[in-house]
Structure 1
Amino acid sequence: MQTNPFKPTAGKTPPTIIGREDVLEEFNEGLTNGPGAPGRLMRIAGVRGTGKTVLLDECSRLAQSRGWTVIKEVATEGLCQRILEQLQPKFQAKHARFEPTVAGISIGSIDIERIGPSLRDAMRQTISKNGNGLLITLDEVQDAELDEVRTLSIAIQQVIGEDLDIAFVFAGLPSMIESIINGKTLTFLRRALPFDLKAVAVTEVSYSLEETIEASGMELQPGIAGQLAEATQGYPFMIQLVGYYAWQLARRAHTPIIGEEEAERGITTARERFCAMVIEPALQRIPPTCIAYLLSMASLGQTSSTSMVADALNKTPQQVSSVRSRLLRESIIEAPSYGKVSFAIPYMRDYLYEHKAELEVEL
Structure 2
Amino acid sequence: MAMNPFKPTAGKMPPILIGRESAIEEFTEGLDNGAGAPGRIMLVTGQRGFGKTVLLTEFRRIASERKWQVISETASPGVAQRLIDALASNGPHIEQASISPSIGIPGIANASLGQINLSSNTIPLTLRNAISKRLQSGKIGKGKGILITIDETQAASIDDLVAIATAVQHVTTSIDETDIPDTEKKGVAIVFAGLPSVVNDLVNDNVTTFLRRALRCELDNVPLLDVKNAFLESVVDSGKTMNDDDAWRAAQATDGYPYMVQLVGYYMWQSAQRRHSDVITGDDIAAGIADAQIAFDDAVCAPALDGLKSAEIEFLHALTADYPKATAIGDITSRTGRSRSWVNKYRAALIKDRVIRSAGHGLVAFAVPHLGEYLKRTA
1:222 to partner: Cα distance: 4.1
- Partner amino acid for 1:344? A
Q: Which residue does 2:272 correspond to in 1?
A: 250
- Partner amino acid for 2:92? F
Q: Kindly report structure 1 stretches of 4+ aligned residues shifted beyond 3 Å.
A: 111-114, 336-339
Q: Which residue does 1:142 correspond to in 2?
A: 154
1:160 to partner: Cα distance: 0.8
8 Å CA contact 1:92–1:115 kept in 2: the answer is no
- 3-state secondary structure, aligned to 1:94: strand
Equivalent position to 2:237, from 215, 234, 237: 215
C-alpha separation in 2, matches of 1:285 and 1:246: 33
1:327 to partner: Cα distance: 2.1
- The answer to whether residue 310 in structure 2 is matched with residue 272 in structure 1 is no
C-alpha separation in 2, matches of 1:133 and 1:307: 54
Q: Which residue does 1:104 correspond to in 2?
A: none
- 3-state secondary structure, aligned to 2:117: coil
- The answer to whether residue 371 in structure 2 is matched with residue 348 in structure 1 is yes
Q: Which residue does 1:323 correspond to in 2?
A: 346
Q: Which residue does 1:171 correspond to in 2?
A: 193
8 Å CA contact 2:81–2:98 kept in 1: the answer is no
- The answer to whether residue 40 in structure 2 is matched with residue 40 in structure 1 is yes
- Partner amino acid for 1:37? A
Q: Which residue does 1:118 correspond to in 2?
A: 126
- What are the equivalent positions in structure 2 for 1:158-307 lying under 5 Å apart? 158-163=170-175, 164-301=186-323, 302-307=325-330
Q: Which residue does 1:95 correspond to in 2?
A: 96
- 3-state secondary structure, aligned to 1:134: strand
C-alpha separation in 1, matches of 2:95 and 2:261: 47
C-alpha separation in 1, matches of 2:306 and 2:97: 37
8 Å CA contact 1:91–1:115 kept in 2: the answer is no
- Partner amino acid for 2:334? D
8 Å CA contact 1:332–1:343 kept in 2: the answer is yes
- What are the equivalent positions in structure 2 for 1:53-68 lying under 5 Å apart? 53-68=53-68
Post-superposition CA distance 1:65-109 (Å, at most 9, x none): 1111111112211111010000012433423433x3xxxxxxx31
Q: How large is the Cα RMSD of the aligned pairs?
A: 1.6
8 Å CA contact 2:50–2:259 kept in 1: the answer is yes
1:306 to partner: Cα distance: 2.2
Q: TM-score, normalised by structure 2?
A: 0.88
1:233 to partner: Cα distance: 0.8
- The answer to whether residue 149 in structure 2 is matched with residue 156 in structure 1 is no
C-alpha separation in 2, matches of 1:279 and 1:128: 46
Identity of aligned residues (%): 39
C-alpha separation in 1, matches of 2:52 and 2:288: 24
8 Å CA contact 1:3–1:216 kept in 2: the answer is yes
- The answer to whether residue 104 in structure 2 is matched with residue 82 in structure 1 is no
Gaps of 5+ in 1: 101-107, 357-363
C-alpha separation in 1, matches of 2:357 and 2:199: 15
C-alpha separation in 2, matches of 1:315 and 1:262: 46
8 Å CA contact 2:146–2:187 kept in 1: the answer is yes
C-alpha separation in 2, matches of 1:311 and 1:141: 37
- Partner amino acid for 1:115? N
C-alpha separation in 1, matches of 2:135 and 2:74: 22
- 3-state secondary structure, aligned to 2:67: coil
- 3-state secondary structure, aligned to 1:135: strand
1:154 to partner: Cα distance: 0.9
- 3-state secondary structure, aligned to 1:115: strand
Post-superposition CA distance 1:282-331 (Å, at most 9, x none): 11322322221111011133322223212210111202333333322332
How many residues of Structure 1 are paired with residues of Structure 2 in the alignment? 348
8 Å CA contact 1:175–1:328 kept in 2: the answer is no
8 Å CA contact 1:307–1:316 kept in 2: the answer is no
8 Å CA contact 2:267–2:289 kept in 1: the answer is yes
8 Å CA contact 1:4–1:248 kept in 2: the answer is yes
8 Å CA contact 2:333–2:343 kept in 1: the answer is yes
C-alpha separation in 2, matches of 1:322 and 1:176: 18
- 3-state secondary structure, aligned to 2:259: helix
Q: Which residue does 2:135 correspond to in 1?
A: 127
Gaps of 5+ in 2: 109-115, 119-124, 176-185
- Partner amino acid for 1:225? A
Q: TM-score, normalised by structure 1?
A: 0.92
